[in-house]
Copies of this chain bind each other. A is one copy, B any other.
Amino acid sequence: MAAALALSERGRGRTAPNPNVGCLIVREGVVVGRGWTQPGGRPHAEAMALAEAGAAARGATVFVTLEPCAHVSPRGPACADLLAAAGPARVVAALTDPDPRTAGAGFARLRAAGIGVTIGIGADQAARTMAGFLQRRYQGRAEVTLKLATSLDGCIALASGESRWITGAEARAHAHLERTRAEAICIGGGTLRADAPRLDVRLPGLEARAPRRLLLARTPADLPAGWTWVESPRAAAALAGVDHLLVEGGAGAAAAFLAEDLVDRLLLYRAPLLIGAGRAALGGIGLAGLDAAHGRWRLLDARGLGVDRLELYERRR
């Protein structure tokens, strides 16, 4: 399942409104098929993996991060039917599909075809990997990631405004990679005026993966060509076709999303330097007191990126 989850990660940010599923087919200890939801949502992961496995799928074990779909669409057959025809011995799935057209019907169809079904393996990690899809289904909005890049004392710039660069090349490359995993990036008007960021992906081979650009501002005045105006964090998170939203600043936009409790993931890049009396990473987030601040964030990952450190926190809900 860990390998299926890794395949699932390949589609993150590119499959909306479909889930970014991963699928691995193993027969007698050998991987015979691998698949992940392709850009735009089709083919599905199971279809891709079954096509690779061919006749070797018969009697095999299929690991899949989400329940195979039970509904036929104009864009392709139901994966549960494909699996039933391919005849694996067992399907191991991480999560049940919340889509009411499947929601257990996919598993039922597999069992009816004599295929063993195991559900729940790797469920926590699958929920994180496919959080954009699940959040959209359950909450009607995108999964929101806030990126902050600060000094050790929490500054994003000197008092003079100088901010290039606080973090080093490795951290900035990682942040660009994170852009490829979102359908849209949002910044505030102040950052647009101050930095005029391109918000593109400057990584070899991934230049075409730049997401939609959203400007959070009171009015659409000064909206650059090709950008989308959003008047509130909630409106940004509700945009159709955006299951993963990356908020890149500045302090006002970041605080606006936090004040609405819309941030699900916090990507914190920290450089080993002190600025002192610089520009703070966050504006006011409407905190009534320290009690309200505790217990909201859980550290998921911490690693070095060159001389910088990256920490990933998730909102505890």
Residues of A within 8 A of B (CB): 148, 150-155, 158-160, 162-166, 255, 258-259, 266, 268, 271-278, 280-287, 289-290, 293-294, 296-299, 302, 304, 307, 309, 311, 313
Contacts and interface: CB of A to CB of B under 8 A. Distances in A.
Contact of A276 (B153, B276, B285, B311): B285
Contacts of A289: 158, 160, 162
A276 B283 contact: yes
Given A275-B282, A299-B309, 11 more contacts: A148-B153, A150-B153, A152-B313, A154-B155, A154-B281, A155-B280, A158-B289, A158-B290, A258-B276, A259-B276, A273-B293
Contact of A273 (B154, B159, B268, B297): B297
Contacts of A268: 152
A313 B150 contact: no
Contacts of A159: 284
A311 to B, nearest CB: 8
Contacts of A284: 159, 276-277
B309 A293 contact: no
Contacts of A154: 150-155, 280-281
A154 to B, nearest CB: 2
8 pairs of A and B residues whose beta carbons are closest in the complex: A154-B154, A276-B285, A277-B284, A276-B282, A273-B293, A272-B297, A153-B281, A153-B154
A158 B294 CA distance: 13
A151 B278 CA distance: 16
Contact of A255 (B155, B158, B277): B277
Q: In terms of DSSP, what is the predominant structure of the interface of chain A?
A: loop
Given A152-B268, A302-B302, A287 B276 contact: yes
A259 B275 CA distance: 11
A143 to B, nearest CB: 18
A111 B158 CA distance: 57
Given A275-B287, A277-B285, A266 B152 contact: yes
A198 to B, nearest CB: 21
A294 B255 CA distance: 27
18 contacts: A152-B266, A152-B297, A153-B282, A155-B280, A159-B284, A163-B290, A166-B290, A255-B277, A272-B297, A272-B299, A272-B313, A275-B287, A276-B284, A276-B285, A277-B285, A278-B280, A299-B307, A302-B309
A165 B162 CA distance: 32
A20 B284 CA distance: 47
A166 B272 CA distance: 22
